[in-house]
Structure 1
Amino acid sequence: MHRPPTAEAEIADELAVVRPGLVPRYTGELPGARAAVLTRLWRGLTHEPLPWIVRREAGSDGLALRLADGRRLYGPRADPYATGAYVTAVRLDETVYDDPARLMTELAVPHSAVFAAELGHSVASLALSRTGSAPTPEWPDRDWEWERRVVDGHPFHPNCRSRPGLSVAEQLAYGPEHGPVVELGLLPVPEAECLVAGVWPTWLREPGRLVVPVHPWQAAHVLKRAGERGLAAHPLMALRTLALPDGPHVKTALSARLTSSVRDISLGSVGASAALSDFGETVAARTDGLLHITRTLGAVAAGSSDLAAVLRESPEEYAGPGERVVPVAALATTELPRSARWLSAFTRLALTVGLRLLEWGVALEAHGQNLLVVLSPEGDPVRLVYRDLADLRIAPARLARHGIALPGQVLARMVTDDERTLRRKLFGSLVAGALAGTAGSGPALRAALEDAVPHLPRTPDLTALLEEPLPAKALTLMRLSPRTAGDQWAELPNPLYFGPM
Structure 2
Amino acid sequence: MHRPSTPDTEAAFAEELSVVRPGLSAPYAAALPGARAAVLTRLWRALAFEPLPWIARRETGRDGLTLALTDGRRVHGPFADPYATSAYVTEVRLGERVYERPDALVAALGVPHGPDFASELAHSVASSALSRAGRSASGDAVGPPGASWVWEQRIVDGHPYHPNCRSRPGFSVAEQLAYGPEHGPTVEMGLVPVDDALVTGDWPKWLRDGERVLIPVHPWQSAHVLDAPVQEGFAARPLMSLRTLAVPDGPHVKTALSARLTSSVRDISVYSVEAADTVSVFMEGMAARLDAPLHITRTLGAATAGSPDLAAVVRESPDEYAGTGERCVPVAALPLTGLPGKASWFAEFTRLVLTVGLRLLELGVALEAHGQNLLVILDRADAPVRLVYRDLADIRVSPARLARHGVPLPRLSGRIVTDDETALRRKLFGSLVGGTLGATAGSTAVLRAALETVAPDLPHTADLPALLGEPLPAKALTLMRLSPGTPGDLWTRLPQPLAGPRSS
TM-score of the pair, normalised by structure 1: 0.97
Amino acid aligned to 1:136:
D
**1:27-106 aligned within 5 A:** 27-106=29-108
Amino acid aligned to 2:194:
V
CA apart distance, 1:200 = 1.0
Amino acid aligned to 2:146:
D
Deviations 1:460-483 (A, max 9, x none): 200111111011111111111111
Secondary structure, aligned partner of 1:301: strand
Percent pairwise identity? 67
Q: Could you tell me which of 139, 142, 164 is aligned with 1:135?
A: 139
For 2:379, the equivalent position in structure 1 comes to: 376
CA apart distance, 1:140 = 4.8
CA apart distance, 1:457 = 2.0
In 1, are the aligned partners of 2:292 and 2:356 still within 8 Å (CA)?
no
**How many residues were matched structurally?**
496
For 1:320, the equivalent position in structure 2 comes to: 323
Structure 2 stretches of 5 or more lacking a match? none
In 1, are the aligned partners of 2:359 and 2:461 still within 8 Å (CA)?
no
CA apart distance, 1:232 = 0.4
Q: Which runs of 4+ in 1 moved over 3 A?
A: 137-140
For 1:461, the equivalent position in structure 2 comes to: 463
Deviations 1:445-468 (A, max 9, x none): 000111111101222200111111
Q: Could you tell me which of 336, 340, 348 is aligned with 1:337?
A: 340
Amino acid aligned to 1:6:
D
For 1:436, the equivalent position in structure 2 comes to: 438
In 2, are the aligned partners of 1:174 and 1:239 still within 8 Å (CA)?
yes
| In 2, Cα distance between equivalents of 1:178 and 1:426 | 31
| In 1, Cα distance between equivalents of 2:104 and 2:202 | 50
| In 1, Cα distance between equivalents of 2:252 and 2:233 | 16
Amino acid aligned to 2:254:
K
Deviations 1:113-156 (A, max 9, x none): 00000000000000000011242279952111010011100000
| In 2, Cα distance between equivalents of 1:368 and 1:420 | 22
CA apart distance, 1:226 = 5.2
125-134 or 41-50: which moved more? 125-134
Secondary structure, aligned partner of 1:285: helix
In 1, are the aligned partners of 2:358 and 2:463 still within 8 Å (CA)?
yes
Secondary structure, aligned partner of 1:185: strand
Q: Could you tell me which of 296, 299, 312 is aligned with 1:296?
A: 299
Structure 1 stretches of 5 or more lacking a match? none
| In 2, Cα distance between equivalents of 1:8 and 1:474 | 26
Q: Could you tell me which of 465, 471, 474 is aligned with 1:472?
A: 474
CA apart distance, 1:419 = 0.7
Q: Could you tell me which of 379, 401, 404 is aligned with 2:404?
A: 401
| Closer/same/farther in 2, CA of residues 147 and 45 from structure 1, 3 Å limit | same
Secondary structure, aligned partner of 1:303: strand
| In 2, Cα distance between equivalents of 1:224 and 1:5 | 34
| In 2, Cα distance between equivalents of 1:254 and 1:5 | 29
Q: Is structure 2 residue 419 aligned with structure 1 residue 427? A: no
Deviations 1:141-182 (A, max 9, x none): 211101001110000000000001100010000000000000
**1:103-252 aligned within 5 A:** 103-133=105-135, 134-136=138-140, 140-190=145-195, 193-225=196-228, 227-252=230-255
CA apart distance, 1:498 = 2.8
In 2, are the aligned partners of 1:268 and 1:411 still within 8 Å (CA)?
no
For 2:491, the equivalent position in structure 1 comes to: 489
CA RMSD across the alignment = 1.4
Amino acid aligned to 1:170:
E
Q: Could you tell me which of 361, 365, 370 is aligned with 1:367?
A: 370
In 2, are the aligned partners of 1:216 and 1:226 still within 8 Å (CA)?
no
| In 1, Cα distance between equivalents of 2:222 and 2:500 | 49
| In 2, Cα distance between equivalents of 1:213 and 1:339 | 42
For 1:18, the equivalent position in structure 2 comes to: 20
Amino acid aligned to 1:36:
A
Amino acid aligned to 2:424:
L
Q: Is structure 2 residue 260 aligned with structure 1 residue 257? A: yes
Secondary structure, aligned partner of 2:492: strand
Secondary structure, aligned partner of 1:390: coil
Q: Could you tell me which of 269, 273, 284 is aligned with 2:287?
A: 284
| In 2, Cα distance between equivalents of 1:194 and 1:224 | 16
Deviations 1:336-375 (A, max 9, x none): 0000000000000000000000000100000000000000
In 2, are the aligned partners of 1:38 and 1:158 still within 8 Å (CA)?
yes
| In 2, Cα distance between equivalents of 1:231 and 1:282 | 33
Secondary structure, aligned partner of 1:391: coil
CA apart distance, 1:224 = 3.7
| In 1, Cα distance between equivalents of 2:363 and 2:86 | 36
In 2, are the aligned partners of 1:220 and 1:226 still within 8 Å (CA)?
no
Deviations 1:474-497 (A, max 9, x none): 111111111111111111110111
